[in-house]
Amino acid sequence: MKPELGRSLPKELGRVHCIGIAGSGMSGIARVLKEKGLEVSGSDRSDSEVADSLREAGITVFIGHDASHLKGADTVVVSSAVRDNNPELMHARANGLVVLHRSEALRWIMQGKKILAVAGSHGKTTSTAMLASALYRDGRDIGAVNGGVISEWGVSSRWGSDEVFVIEADESDRSFLGYDPAVVMITNVAPDHLDFYGDMDSIYEAFEGFARNATQAIVLCADDEGTTHLARRLDGAAPVLTYGIAPTADFRLENIDLGAHARFELTYREQRATCELAVPGRLNALNAAGVIAVLVASGYTLVDAAAAVSGFRGADRRFQFHGEIAGVRFFDDHAHHPTEVAAALETARSVVGAGQVITMFQPHLFSRTQYMAQELADAFAHGSDHTIFLDIFGSREDPIEGVTTQLILDRLPAEASFDFEPEWDRACALAVARAQPGDIVLTMSTGDLYQIVPQLLEAKKRLEGDPDGSP
């Protein structure tokens, strides 16, 4: 199902059923609907920690899709990943139920709110988490829907009484064009979701439309070629503020310390402030500068904005630390696009010191692998000391003939160190056998590879002769 931009929304939703409720965006929407007092149920194809979390919030979650799950429902919410032959969607349409795209349900939630929206080809989930947690830490009862769990909250969304509502705006299906934000932040613009857009011109057109919806300010990264190009298309739009290391940036990062706690100074109109995060990496520092710019555009002073962002603890699955065993540290990251992969590996390199970075990578989507095999190979060849590649996680896509992980492997340079091992047990064994004290093992995927982390920890403990120990 595709979003219908500008469609009138129902005044009331009644009892709501969400198809694909454990998805990164849908789960947050379901939680907020529940917090607003609606009766909410949902279904997903498999059980998960997210499904358990929703059950703990009082939401009924079914495993598998069946028309009987819609008993008593008035409104059905779906994402673009739900196919027309889904039995629940077919039942909803045949019986005249209100069917809303996920973005329309979010639009219904945000009615009457001042929206701060974060978009970009990558980095938007972390930036949204930074913005939401900074406002909340400043004492504001803000609402938010993010595409990933905000570590300080333990959930990805919340309803709040404040006039401000923070969202991660998903560009993958143009649904972000349906929002009416006061301030937008765009971290970068890069080739992605080409199975939907086809070419970069269509991507730029979508991001331009999203930016032009801003009524108060547009915040863009001055260090990114894509957002720099986008800025040239925005004559007549809301005022543009830029951030980055570039000397032309309005908010300029200086004196960056990329240790375990990224620290930097930020200058804006002859003012200066210092910000220190509880997470490492250049990209986190860059995103923090953008969030500070959003806060300033929303009325904060530079010093107060930097103080609110300071201490940010991260978003789950964004270079998330899971434990240390026998001197080996285990991290997990959501990275799947080549630029994200390179940034995550850069962060790992800044943390690992003299050790090695051992990566386990599960490619996401057949189409992305087909379009970006060379870029992925380049990222791993440059940033990972050894990579264990797994099979492609197809997600919403059907297989494409001839498109396998081998496309990436064929493009790796001769000196690259890697294995291809689709079997999780054997992949775990390869990783923990190679890892030595001081090394990092980094799992990387937006598919289901994050579920291998407990197995990795257990495998390493067994190897060290401590089957009952804890990391």
Predicted TM-score (pTM) of this structure: 0.81
Q: How far apart, in whole angstroms, are the C-alpha atoms of residue 105 and residue 7?
A: 11
Separation in Å, CA 131 to CA 138, 177, 219, 291, 416? 11, 21, 13, 6, 38
Separation in Å, CA 229 to CA 199, 204, 208? 15, 9, 10
Q: Are 224 and 254 in contact (CB under 8 A)?
A: no
Q: How far apart, in whole angstroms, are the C-alpha atoms of residue 176 and residue 172?
A: 9
State the pLDDT confidence band at 74, using cuts at 50, 70 and 90.
very high
DSSP string for 328-351: EEEEEE---SHHHHHHHHHHHHHH
Q: How far apart, in whole angstroms, are the C-alpha atoms of residue 141 and residue 120?
A: 26
E strands in 28-176: 40-44, 60-63, 75-78, 98-101, 114-119, 143-150, 155-158, 164-168
Stretch 462-470: mean pLDDT, rounded?
66
What's the token pair of residue 228?
């720099």
Residue 273: pLDDT over 50: yes
Q: How far apart, in whole angstroms, are the C-alpha atoms of residue 176 and residue 196?
A: 14
Q: What is the pLDDT of residues 241-270, one digit of tens each?
A: 999 999 999 999 999 987 778 999 999 999
Predicted pLDDT of residue 469: 44
Q: Which residues partner with 242 through β-bridges?
A: 220
Predicted pLDDT of residue 471: 39
Residue 291: pLDDT over 60: yes
Residue 318: pLDDT over 90: no
State the pLDDT confidence band at 394, using cuts at 50, 70 and 90.
confident
Stretch 155-172: mean pLDDT, rounded?
95
Q: Are 336 and 280 in contact (CB under 8 A)?
A: no
Predicted pLDDT of residue 1: 65
Give the 3-state secondary structure of residue 256. strand
Q: Could you give the percent of the chain with pLDDT greater than 90?
A: 75
DSSP string for 173-217: TSGGGG---SEEEE----S--HHHH-SHHHHHHHHHHHHHT-SSE
CATH code: domain 110-309 is: 3.40.1190.10
**Chain Cα centroid distance, residue 96:** 34
Q: How far apart, in whole angstroms, are the C-alpha atoms of residue 59 and residue 273?
A: 43
Domain segments of the chain: what residues?
16-102, 110-309, 320-463
Q: What is the pLDDT of residues 102-137, one digit of tens each?
A: 999 999 999 999 999 999 988 899 999 999 999 999
Residue showing tokens 């795209």 = 101
Q: How far apart, in whole angstroms, are the C-alpha atoms of residue 464 and residue 98?
A: 56
Average pLDDT, the chain: 92
Predicted pLDDT of residue 315: 73
Q: Residue type at 162?
A: D
Q: How far apart, in whole angstroms, are the C-alpha atoms of residue 300 and residue 321?
A: 32
Nearest to 396 by CA among 75, 82, 62: 82
Q: Is domain 320-463 annotated with CATH 3.90.730.10?
A: no
Predicted pLDDT of residue 20: 93
Residue 470: pLDDT over 70: no
CATH code: domain 16-102 is: 3.40.50.720
The helix/strand count (H/E) of the chain reads as 15, 21
